[in-house]
Amino acid sequence: MAPTTALTADQASVRLHELTVIDVRTPGEYASGHLPGAHNIPLGHLDAALPALKTAAARGDLLIVCASGARSATACRHLADHGITAATLTGGTTAWTQLGHATDRPTGTRAPWAVDRQVRFTAGALVLTSLIAGERWNAARWLSAGVAGGLVLSARTNTCAMAKVLAKLPYNRPTATDLDATLAALAD
């Protein structure tokens, strides 16, 4: 198993020119702002990218990035299991932007909301809808209880089933051509 390290945003900023940055967030999150030069390979597509990532890691250091550092740490462990050394960005793009480091955004496009914002909206809408519907049908209130239970479980396990479902929506998935182009760029 290859070692996994962590870099702070300031450390990564100094070394950005020598790092191959892999952003494991959804395409919508990536489009909302990413580290300059970052390649988008959503966490769920990491296995398909292993050969290209091995090639990129042989040329230089990899930095894996997500919003908070949780998904990138998971990705680093997965890569380490396959013999690929990578560092995670401590605090993710949140820490990066809070420290005032530059981010790139596609011009002329409207980025979808980040998945965590989509989860908050969906959970709130489900609870509100079930409470209103519960005025007429008492059983509808069970949906609120289910969402609340899911949120508690999400916090306890640091996972989110709703985010996994929302990540499968078309605007949160990479198009085949985008992912293929990214993998080709890494393999070259």
- Which tens digit of pLDDT belongs to each residue from 133-159? 999 999 989 999 999 999 898 888 878
13-27, 48-62, 130-144, 148-162: segment of lowest average pLDDT = 148-162
Q: By the 8 A CB rule, do 172 and 26 touch?
A: yes
Q: How many whole angstroms separate alpha carbon 124 and alpha carbon 126?
A: 5
- Specify the pTM: 0.72
> What 3-state DSSP class applies to 22?
strand
Q: By the 8 A CB rule, do 13 and 25 touch?
A: no
Q: What pLDDT shows up at residue 4?
A: 64
